[in-house]
Amino acid sequence: MAILKIARMGHPVLMRPAEPVADPTSPEIKRVVADMIETMDDADGRGLAATQVHINKRIVVFRPPPDDPKQPEGPNGPVLALINPEITALGEEMDEGWEGCLSVPGLRGVVPRYTKIRYRGVTPSGEKIDRTVSGYHARVVQHEVDHLDGVLYPQRMKDLGLLVFESEFERFLGQGTETGDEAHAE
């Protein structure tokens, strides 16, 4: 296992779409996933996409948040690694919420996301995942899969007046409203 270097906004690796993984259960992919989880935890992140660690493959890891009754695991609960993830928005409804990103350190922003989505993918052990989620869980998945398409959260923002420094966010805006998918991560 190894802690990988995290690319920051402006690096070309974050701008190009990632390639599908041909064999999700290969030892190479298991190794990549293990390194990604170690890197995410070291950075105190909620989620991480392979492109953020200079690997141009369609892989994300994240911890399903505790606000989904079907997902009892908390912030330190089991991590989900999803290979070749696909998202379908269920309905038109969108919510706005604060997000942070390991590749955009020191900032927070208000981002509109679909309230309810279905996501599918495969785990490194070959298990097929097919879930319908909403709220925070849906937000995390949309943020991470955006990374695989070369999109960072500021590109999704409607009002750049709500792109703020983390320290000011905590001082003036926090108060438990943070719903970012990489909250507390730098």
Which positions are catalytic?
Answer: 144
Task: Between 96 and 186, name the residue whose CB sits nearer to Ni ion.
Answer: 186
Task: Between 101 and 117, name the residue whose CB sits nearer to Ni ion.
Answer: 101
How many residues touch Ni ion (CB under 5 A)?
1
Report how far residue 147's alpha carbon sits from residue 85's, in angstroms, rounded to the nearest whole number. 11
Task: Between 49 and 125, name the residue whose CB sits nearer to Ni ion.
Answer: 49
Report how far residue 124's alpha carbon sits from residue 133's, in angstroms, rounded to the nearest whole number. 21
> Least separation, in Å, of the C-beta of 87 and Ni ion?
15
3-state class (DSSP) for residue 130: strand
Angstrom distances, CA of residue 47 to CA of 75, 78, 146, 173: 10, 12, 12, 23
- Tell which positions 13-72 bind Ni ion, by CB under 5 A: none
Residue with CB nearest Ni ion?
A: 101
Residue that the structure tokens 């959260």 belong to: 153
How many beta carbons lie within 10 A of that of residue 32, not counting itself? 22
- Tell which positions 95-154 bind Ni ion, by CB under 5 A: 101
- List residues binding Ni ion (CB under 5 A): 101
